Amino acid sequence: MAKATEYLSRLNQLFRRKRAALLDDLRATLGTTSRTTIFRILKAVGYFTSYSHAGRFYTLRYIPKFDSLGLWSWRGVGFSSHGTLRSTSVFLIEQSEAGKTHEELQLQLGLRVHDTLRDLVHERMMAREHFEGVFIYLSSDPKKAAAQMAVRRKLHVPTHVPLDPLLVIDVLVEVIHHRREEAAAIAERLRTAGRHVTLKQVEEVFQAYGVKKTADRSH
């Protein structure tokens, strides 16, 4: 009993200095190298493992002040009331009205989750759909996923950005010299020449200047 009280006192001292600690910090504080002893003490007190930094940080259960999504961080170390990065990612997808892109999840979690999302999709713990050039990660429930995509489409308001006049000239010059080529080939030629251009931009030029029809008549 006295030993247990001493361990708890040492833990409290450690976590008063820092809100999250590594296993080496716990070893030094408790004066033991035994993982079994360390985790028995942590379990008795209650603790969380970080979802970031490969789960290498620990904090006591009473320390985190989780936000409405169950997230809390200390000096860039992320913790979740939902547990691991996998379970947290699933929760954030499931509770989202319009699904999530990787970038949206990255912003919320503070780290890249490409590998985690790929694994969860592979294991059918979530779904994904390609939309406007990016993947939208969705609930594993088909009905809920369909509802999420409906909201995503409703929220998406396409914005028209005027084409760069110099880009238009570059595309039209390529069309003059390669009249039989499709937009994809023209875009590839320009990229090879060092021009930053997307297929969508080239297609917009084709549509705006009637290039497609001209190219069709040349066949």
pLDDT digits (tens, 9 = 90+) for 45-66: 999 999 999 999 999 999 999 9
Cα–Cα distance measured from residue 51 to residue 36, given in angstroms and rounded to the nearest whole number? 21
Domain end: 101, 129, 155, which one?
155
The answer to whether residues 119 and 139 belong to one domain is yes
Average pLDDT, the chain: 89
138 and 103 in one domain? yes
What is the domain range of residue 113? 85-155
For residues 170 and 145, state if they share a domain.
no
How many domains does the structure of the chain reveal?
3
Final residue of a structural domain among 135, 155, 175: 155
Q: Is the pLDDT of residue 91 over 90?
A: yes
Q: How far is CA 55 from CA 20, 23, 38, 119, in A?
A: 11, 10, 16, 18
- The whole-angstrom separation of Cα 135 and Cα 175 is 32
pLDDT of residue 22: 96
Grade residue 161 by pLDDT with cuts at 50, 70 and 90: low
Distinct helix (H) and strand (E) counts, the chain: 11, 7
**CATH number for 123:** 1.10.10.10
pLDDT at residue number 218: 40
Same domain assignment for residues 197 and 136 = no
Q: Is residue 100 part of a domain?
A: yes
pLDDT band of residue 73 (cuts 50, 70, 90) is: very high
- On whether both 147 and 169 belong to a single domain, the answer is no
The two three-digit tokens of residue 81, written as one number: 């009331």
